[in-house]
Homo-oligomer: A and B are copies of this chain.
C-alpha cells in the first residue's frame, strides 16, 4: 500500500472510531491528520487536506486543545498559528479517559448518589428493584471511577506490566 492511501485510510478509520464513541468525526479526523504529520500544521493546511471550512477547522482545533490532545505552536517571525498533536499513545489514551471521566462519569455518579436517598416501602417490589439496581450500578460506577483515577496517575510501563501480571 502507498503512503498516501495509508494516510487516507488511517484518517477514515480514526474518524469512524471517534464517531462510534460519541466524538465528532471531523474532530477525530483532524486529530488523526496531526498524529501522522511530522510537522505542526496551520489551519489553512488542515482545511485543505480534509476539505473542511475555516469555521469548522477553527472550532475543531479549539475543541482538540480543550481535550488536551493538541497544542498551539508559534514559529519565530510568523503570525500564523501552528498545531501539533501529542504523539505518545499512552498519553492520548490517558487524556481521553480523564476528560470523559470528568465530563460524563462524574455527573452520573453524582446523580446515582442522590438516587440512593430515595425513600420508600421496603415491601414494595417497585421500590426494592429500583433501590437494588441503583445501588449496584452505583457500586460499579465507583469502582470504575477509582480504577480510572489510579490508571490516570500511573506510568505507562508500570500500568501495563501490572495488568499483564494478573491477566496471564
Q: Which residues of A contact B (CB under 8 A)?
A: 1-3, 5-7, 9-10, 13, 16-17, 19-22, 35-39, 87-90, 93, 103-104, 107-108, 111-112, 114-115, 117-120, 124-130, 132-134, 136-137, 139-140, 143, 146-147, 150-151, 160, 162-163, 165-167
Shortest CB-to-CB span from A131 to chain B, Å, is: 9
- Contact (Cβ within 8 A) A87 B163: no
- Contact (Cβ within 8 A) A129 B21: no
- A90 CA to B124 CA, complexed, in Å: 25
- Contact (Cβ within 8 A) B132 A9: no
Residue of B nearest to A141 (CB): B89
- Contact (Cβ within 8 A) A89 B127: no
Q: How many copies does the complex hold?
A: 2
- Contact (Cβ within 8 A) B130 A89: no
**Which B residues are CB-close (under 8 A) to A20?**
22, 103-104
Shortest CB-to-CB span from A24 to chain B, Å, is: 11
Residue of B nearest to A12 (CB): B111
Shortest CB-to-CB span from A82 to chain B, Å, is: 15
- A146 CA to B114 CA, complexed, in Å: 36
**Which B residues are CB-close (under 8 A) to A163?**
143, 147, 166
- Contact (Cβ within 8 A) A108 B13: yes
- Contact (Cβ within 8 A) B87 A9: no
Decide yes or no: A118 and B3 within 8 Å by CB, A10-B134, A134-B10, A166-B166 being known contacts. Answer: yes
